[in-house]
Amino acid sequence: MTMIFKEKSAGKTWKECFPLGNGHLGAMVSLNPQREEIYLSENTFFSGEPGAFSNQETAPGCFYRMRELVSNGDYSGAEEIQKSFVGRRENYGTNLPVGRMVLETTSSCETEHREYVRSLDLENGIACADYNIGSSHAHMECFATHPENAFVYKRSSQNRKEDYELSFLPHQEGNDKIVYLDRGIIFSVKAHESMHSDGMTGVRLTGTVQVWTDGTCAADAGVIRILGAGWLILQIKMVTDFGEKALDYPLLCGKLKHELMGENRAEPPYLKWKEEHCRDFGKYMRRSRLEIEDEEGLGEEISLMYQYGRYLLLSSSREDSLLPAHLQGVWNDNVACRIGWTCDMHLDINTQMNYWPAEITGLSECAMPLFRWVEEDLVRSGQITAREAYGLKGWVAELVSNAWSYTAPYWDIPISPCPTGGVWTAVHLWEHYLFTGDREFLREHVFPVISGAVDFFVDYLFWDEKEGHYLTGPSISPENSFIGRDGQVHYLENACTYEVLMVRELYMIFLECCRLLEISDGREEKVKHQLEFLPHYPVNRDGTLGEWREDKQQTDPQHRHTSHLLGLYPFCQITPEDTPELAEAASRTIRRKLEPESNWEDTGWARALLVLYSARLHDGEQALRHVRTMMRKLKAPNQMIMHPPTRGAGSFADVYELDGNTGLTAGIAEMLLQSHGEILRILPALPVAWKKGCALGLCARGGLSVDITWDNGQVEIRIWAHNNYHGWVEIGEEKKEITLKGGEEMRMCI
């Protein structure tokens, strides 16, 4: 089955352009024969700078006073003190667009372009367009190559010569230096803006555009004029001074000037670039494949959307990316960076969801930048925040972070403090171990990160004699609020369900790490004791799962965030098999959120969570309903999932978020395969409409690769073990024990 999106018209807006990326640079291409606009972005192009004073000096004393007041029910008093606890937002910054490369045709303005078709090949990472003009056939194609770290664009026409004008339009004028040479452009821009920083701080980016053509080229008044071209090739490269020294601008100009102005240059090795790119990109994309026959005829679209999430993650995050994928992957729509959210790394769902498909769909390497960022940036900065904001050892990271390793409490009272954002992100390292069985990774990377987080939370928890539990807080339940007995809206509470379940997950991981690595350093008994006396999941009077330890009136019952359900997914603290009462409470919570559905605060990532929750509840019909709703309501013309403005997350326009697409991919995968507690669940949430299909190259915890083929109730399974494995395979009511040695495979038919 091919993995190709096709359109019969050129892109006119950012949301109609095709995305290309290589983990460093991003490009949105319109493939417009008349005026090609290439929106350029780069994953380290951030405004702002590291904040040396992000934590307030008064924070520790204020925090423990807040705890005392909240424990006594004085929420208003705690919130007044909270102003002296929240973090400082000094030059926090945001990712910004770099600018646009414009290639305008000047010789065919009056000629109609006929039989136009453009396509995005997901397997090979190539966007192309074909059309007829006069009696000639024309072709455009482009790709972002990781081996060359460049964007490459080719345009050609048969028996026809075209004239063009090529120019670079910076995102912000005044911050730029642009030199036009006969055979290329050199540009330097700065990531400066005044909404999220002081307008004077940010990285510097230097880029080059090289032009090859069989026509003639000449620089002229802010453009390169290309005349009589039967073909042309552009290569764009960009580098910033974020993680390495930027290209020296004067030296670069002198070095390239002679080459770029030369008339008799050999053609570039375009086919070599393309072949290397296809080999590199395709080896990842071909690892997993999905084919579904859906009774409503949506099977091919669903299969493509599964691959599209993988494609966007691979394009945004490669092994050598200097930062993990931010809110928009490696692209920038110039919306998120101009609203209060910022285009950064949100740690209360978005960054995590960006990477949820990585392990299960065979893109494990894509998560490496996230792991490095956690180890080298969050942990280092988080040690400062633990000490300066809480007076504790270990490390902690809160609601948001950025290129500058921000870990301080959020600067706005309603969503601060929230000290488990770092823990949630760090769990991805543990998941990598579970999927790969890499003991060295467990010892050298997972355990130090988890251990440092435990150092913080064992002292953060406090004993409540009245309740007989270790409590957390005060903190918020992202990003919700409740009505107190005083009739006022409040955010702070001790032992929010979200925070307790995160600590529970951290402690269980820590103890399992100690067991696997045979480590005994004196902390295990304290952790076991606190774990035993953590509060249980609360169930409200109406049968829903409680977001707070008491049955509170939610300010917005249909709020987009459902953080108290994370024990259902991504964790397995709540399952239909082991905790049926809690699973029913979670199911009832989801139903209440959607009553009426028209008032549900619908976003891409929030709807993706409903897919994932339903899959874990083994409710394939509900999961499919959410998949269909997501594709119908939240998908832009270029298939990117949008976050529309909502009452709780305002914006002047729809915002693209990578997590909508990756969350959808993870949800589809979870409907077909689940692996927890040494049980491999095959087709645990298969909808009735999916009568026939195959899911190849899925991955499972325990170091397994799984192929599943089904046809009207008949299921064939191939399981290949990368490591020694013992566990069970479950399909419906049938359960079979299996044992495999590393390198062995087995097949089952049911």
Residues 566, 498: contact at Cβ < 8 Å?
yes
Residues 298, 647: contact at Cβ < 8 Å?
no
Q: What is the pTM of this model?
A: 0.97
CATH 2.70.98.50 fits 18-46+94-285, yes or no: yes
The domain ranges of the chain are: 18-46+94-285, 363-580, 684-749
Contacts of 253 (CB under 8 A, 6+ apart): 179, 186
Region label for 600, one of left (φ > 0), alpha (ψ between -120 and 50) or beta (otherwise): beta
Sign of CA dihedral 661, 663, 666, 672: negative
- Dump the DSSP string for 304-341: HHHHHHHHHHHHH--TT-SS--BTTBT---SSGGGSTT
For residue 69, report the phi and psi dihedrals to the nearest 5 degrees: -70, -45
Q: Which single residue is written with the structure tokens 């090609």?
A: 36
d(CA 153, CA 455) in angstroms, rounded, equals 51
- Dump the DSSP string for 232-248: EEEEEEEEESSSSPPPP
Q: How confident is the model at residue 252 (pLDDT cuts 50, 70, 90)?
A: low
For residue 439, the SS3 value is helix
Residues 309, 662: contact at Cβ < 8 Å?
yes
Query: Is residue 262 pLDDT above 70, yes or no?
Result: no
> Distances from the Cα of 728 to the Cαs of 438, 674, 749, in angstroms?
21, 12, 15
d(CA 139, CA 619) in angstroms, rounded, equals 46
Tell me how long the chain is.
Answer: 750
Question: From the centroid of its chain, how far is CA 408?
Answer: 21
Q: Residue 664: name the closest of 122, 302, 332 by CA.
A: 302
How many CA atoms does the CB half-sphere of 730 hold within 13 Å?
17
d(CA 205, CA 558) in angstroms, rounded, equals 43
**What does the block give as tokens for 715?**
């299921």
d(CA 704, CA 315) in angstroms, rounded, equals 25
Contacts of 391 (CB under 8 A, 6+ apart): 60
Q: Residue 100: name the closest of 152, 155, 40 by CA.
A: 40
d(CA 409, CA 419) in angstroms, rounded, equals 8
Identical fold, 18-46+94-285 and 684-749: no
| Distance between start and end Cα atoms, the chain | 25
d(CA 418, CA 412) in angstroms, rounded, equals 11
Strands 231-240 and 289-294: unpaired
- Tens digit of pLDDT for each residue in 106-153? 876 556 788 999 999 999 999 999 999 988 999 999 999 999 999 999
d(CA 143, CA 699) in angstroms, rounded, equals 28
- State mean pLDDT over 454-469: 96
Three-state secondary structure string covering 80-103: HHHHHCCCCCCCCCCECCCEEEEE
Q: Which amino acid is at 119?
A: S
d(CA 709, CA 718) in angstroms, rounded, equals 9
d(CA 188, CA 174) in angstroms, rounded, equals 11
Residues 240, 246: contact at Cβ < 8 Å?
yes
Name which of 213-222, 503-512, 606-615 the model is least confident about.
Answer: 213-222
Residues 157, 136: contact at Cβ < 8 Å?
yes
Q: Residue 403: name the closest of 421, 381, 425 by CA.
A: 381
For residue 713, report the phi and psi dihedrals to the nearest 5 degrees: 95, -15
What torsion do the CA atoms of 255, 258, 262, 267 make, to the nearest 10 degrees?
A: -10
**What does the block give as tokens for 336?**
């998120």
> Distances from the Cα of 651 to the Cαs of 338, 481, 643, 655, 695, in angstroms?
9, 20, 9, 8, 38
- Tens digit of pLDDT for each residue in 291-325? 999 888 899 999 999 999 999 999 999 999 999 99
H or E segment to which residue 740 belongs:
strand 734-740
Instruction: List, in sequence order, the alpha helices (H) in 481-634.
Output: 497-517, 524-532, 580-593, 604-616, 620-633
Query: Is residue 266 pLDDT above 80, yes or no?
Result: no
Residues 729, 682: contact at Cβ < 8 Å?
yes
- Dump the DSSP string for 379-413: HHHHHHHHHHHHS-SS--B-SEE-TT---SPPSSG
H or E segment to which residue 748 belongs:
strand 745-749
Q: Which amino acid is at 210?
A: Q
Name which of 100-109, 211-220, 232-241, 361-370 the model is least confident about.
Answer: 100-109
Buried b (16+ CB within 10 A) or exposed e, 303-334: bbbbbbbbbbbbbbbbeebbbbbbbbbbbbbe
How many CA atoms does the CB half-sphere of 365 hold within 13 Å?
13
For residue 191, report the phi and psi dihedrals to the nearest 5 degrees: -85, 75
H or E segment to which residue 37 belongs:
strand 35-42
Q: How many other CB atoms are found less than 10 A from the CB of residue 741?
A: 9
Query: Is residue 513 pLDDT above 70, yes or no?
Result: yes
pLDDT at residue 264 in the model = 46
pLDDT at residue 2 in the model = 58
d(CA 118, CA 31) in angstroms, rounded, equals 7
> Of the CATH numbers 1.20.120.80, 3.20.20.80, 1.50.10.10, 1.10.8.640, which one belongs to the domain with range 363-580?
1.50.10.10
- Tens digit of pLDDT for each residue in 367-393? 999 999 999 999 999 999 999 999 999
Residues 191, 46: contact at Cβ < 8 Å?
yes
**What does the block give as tokens for 283?**
């080896």
For residue 460, report the phi and psi dihedrals to the nearest 5 degrees: -75, -40
pLDDT at residue 52 in the model = 75
Query: Is residue 254 pLDDT above 80, yes or no?
Result: no
What is the overall mean pLDDT for the chain? 95
H or E segment to which residue 731 belongs:
strand 725-731
d(CA 328, CA 130) in angstroms, rounded, equals 29
Name which of 5-14, 39-48, 717-726 the model is least confident about.
Answer: 5-14
The DSSP call for residue 44 is: T
d(CA 273, CA 623) in angstroms, rounded, equals 41
How many CA atoms does the CB half-sphere of 266 hold within 13 Å?
3
- Dump the DSSP string for 186-229: EEEEE---SSSS-SS-B-EEEEEEEEEESSEEEEETTEEEEEEE
CATH 2.60.40.1180 fits 684-749, yes or no: yes
Strands 216-220 and 223-229: antiparallel
> Distances from the Cα of 631 to the Cαs of 336, 348, 604, 634, in angstroms?
21, 24, 9, 6
